[in-house]
Amino acid sequence: MIDNFLSVHANSLKLRAQRTEVLASNIANADTPNYKARDLVFAEVLHETQGAVSKNNSQLAMTGGLHTTNARHIKTRSTSGSDAPVMYRQPEQASLDGNTVDKDLEQARFAENTIRYQASLQFINSRVSGLMRTLRSE
């Protein structure tokens, strides 16, 4: 019950934290020759983690369109969001030293990701507060 109530935002927090690390690494390596900027496709990964459904005591699980009908089937991807694939980003402007990081754009992405992380935290806080008020019958 509570997992379903908060799952989207809990997964969002995990993915935002991972994206923060990737963006911070990009910023830290802005002057490193031949460093390739990386990022994760947040919306796609979050959609995949939310698409994972388990029914009948894990007898039927759907992950990204793949159906497993037996508990012994190989899982294609963890649904925790902690191992989201990191992709290389296409550079906006070519660099002579082979570095694909645009420091200004990375800082803007970092700031946006931080704001969205804080918004998810505030939303979780308000949902938990609402649950607490309901349980206390206020």
DSSP 57-75: TTTEEEETTEEE-STTSPP
- Dist CA 99 CA 25 (whole Å): 13
Among 88, 94, 65, 59, residue whose Cα is nearest residue 77:
65
Mean pLDDT of 13-42: 92
Helices (H), 29-138: 42-51, 103-136
User: Does the pLDDT of residue 47 top 60, yes or no?
Assistant: yes
Tokens of 103: 């420091």
Ranges of each domain in the chain: 2-136
Stated pTM of the model: 0.68
The sign one gets for the Cα dihedral 96, 88, 25, 120 is positive
